[in-house]
């Protein structure tokens, strides 16, 4: 346990020293500023319209627009977090094996599993901080400007974090077996697969095409990251948007809670795979 902690701390320090944290922070803040300005300008337009026509319908439209803007922001945050997770861990084991820095570490009295778990924990922490900054910033911006808070906020954010964590873990497993570039290629390939599978499932649901829906479910089984995003949008959608299915961020074919359980098991299995591959690897 102690070793896991030492490695996790080392991972954190590495991210700080190699300016990964600084870069993430600066660009994250920039993102939030642009997002808030955009939100502000659109919100003013809607408010002006509403001032002329203060009906109940206008108030609902205002709320729906806030919801739409927030989900759009969170969609970008989810993508950035996934990319951050993949980039953080794709190079870690692969890079240290190829450079040889891992050799003096592994010649110490420790378990190789502790190294993998320590790194995972370190990255999970870094990713949590990044996600909290980005998603928290977007939610706060919507709340301060429009007084809007989505339903099931905590559940929704947890699911989006789970999406990023999942991709990060897949990258770590890849990194224990392959080069950083091959890992990156694999992870983004899988991400793309999940993305397109998700859309096929959505469109299939509109036309009631069961085969298309099943294609989507199968891709979710291959990598359940996108399914977590869609479950999150389902949780955080306003009841009206869900009923009318009127925005790209509402979900027509909702991943079941069983899929969430599957995603958790998938994550655990990927972590176990990372440990196992690394244990067997000749350094």
Partner 1 sequence: MTIPAIETDQLRKVFGDTTAVKGLTLQVAQGEVFGFLGPNGAGKTTSMKMLLGLVAPTSGKAFLLGAPVGDRPTLARVGFLPEHFRFQEWLTASEFLQLHGELLGMERQALKARQDELLERVGLTAFRGKLLRTFSKGMLQRIGLAQALLNRPALVFLDEPTSGLDPVGRLLVRDIIHELRRDGTCVFLNSHLLSEIEVTCDRVAFIRHGEVVRLLDLGSMGQDSATVTIRLAGLTPGMTAGLRRWSDEIHTNAEELTLTVRSEEHVPEINQYLVAQGARVYAIKPARMSLEEIFIATVGKDGGL
Q: Is residue 215 classed exposed, middle or buried when 0-12, 13-18 and 19+ CB atoms within 10 A define those classes?
A: middle
Distances (CA, A) of 208 to 60, 201, 253: 29, 10, 10
The minimum distance between CB 89 and partner 1, in angstroms, equals: 17
* Nearer to partner 1 among residue 112 and residue 231 (C-beta): 112
Contact 113, 2 (CB under 8 A): no
Token reading at 121: 């924990």
User: What is the rounded distance in angstroms from the CA atom of residue 275 to the CA atom of residue 117?
Assistant: 8
The minimum distance between CB 101 and partner 1, in angstroms, equals: 5
* Nearer to partner 1 among residue 3 and residue 158 (C-beta): 3
User: What is the rounded distance in angstroms from the CA atom of residue 185 to the CA atom of residue 196?
Assistant: 16
The minimum distance between CB 283 and partner 1, in angstroms, equals: 4
* Nearer to partner 1 among residue 91 and residue 235 (C-beta): 91
The minimum distance between CB 17 and partner 1, in angstroms, equals: 4
Sites of contact with partner 1 (CB under 8 A) = 2-3, 6, 10, 13-14, 17-18, 99-101, 103-111, 280, 282-283
The minimum distance between CB 146 and partner 1, in angstroms, equals: 43
Cα 123 versus chain centre, distance: 13
Helices (H), strands (E): how many in the chain? 12, 0
* Nearer to partner 1 among residue 19 and residue 59 (C-beta): 19
* Nearer to partner 1 among residue 34 and residue 283 (C-beta): 283
């Amino acid at each position: 346990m102690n070793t896991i902690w030492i490695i996790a701390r080392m991972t954190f320090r590495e991210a700080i020293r190699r300016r990964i944290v600084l870069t993430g922070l600066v660009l994250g803040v920039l993102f939030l500023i642009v997002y808030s300005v955009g939100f502000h300008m659109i919100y003013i337009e809607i408010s002006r319209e509403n001032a002329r026509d203060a009906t109940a319908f206008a108030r609902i439209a205002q709320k729906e627009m806030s919801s739409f803007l927030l989900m759009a922001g969170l969609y970008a945050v989810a993508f950035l977090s996934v990319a951050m997770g993949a980039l953080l861990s794709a190079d870690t084991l692969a890079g240290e094996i190829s450079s040889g820095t891992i050799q003096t570490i592994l010649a110490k009295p420790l378990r190789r599993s502790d190294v993998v778990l320590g790194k995972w924990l370190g990255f999970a922490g870094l990713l949590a901080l990044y996600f909290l900054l980005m998603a928290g910033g977007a939610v706060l911006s919507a709340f301060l400007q429009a007084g809007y808070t989505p339903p099931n906020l905590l559940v929704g954010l947890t699911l989006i974090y789970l999406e990023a964590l999942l991709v990060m873990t897949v990258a770590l497993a890849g990194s224990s077996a392959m080069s950083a570039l091959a890992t990156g290629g694999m992870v983004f390939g899988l991400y793309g697969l999940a993305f397109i599978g998700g859309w096929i499932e959505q469109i299939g649901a509109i036309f009631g095409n069961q085969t298309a829906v099943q294609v989507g479910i199968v891709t979710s089984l291959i990598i359940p990251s996108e399914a977590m995003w869609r479950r999150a949008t389902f949780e955080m959608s306003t009841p009206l948007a869900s009923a009318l299915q009127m925005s790209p961020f509402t979900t027509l074919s909702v991943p079941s809670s069983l899929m969430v359980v599957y995603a958790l098991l998938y994550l655990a299995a990927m972590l176990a795979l990372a440990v196992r591959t690394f244990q067997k690897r000749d350094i």
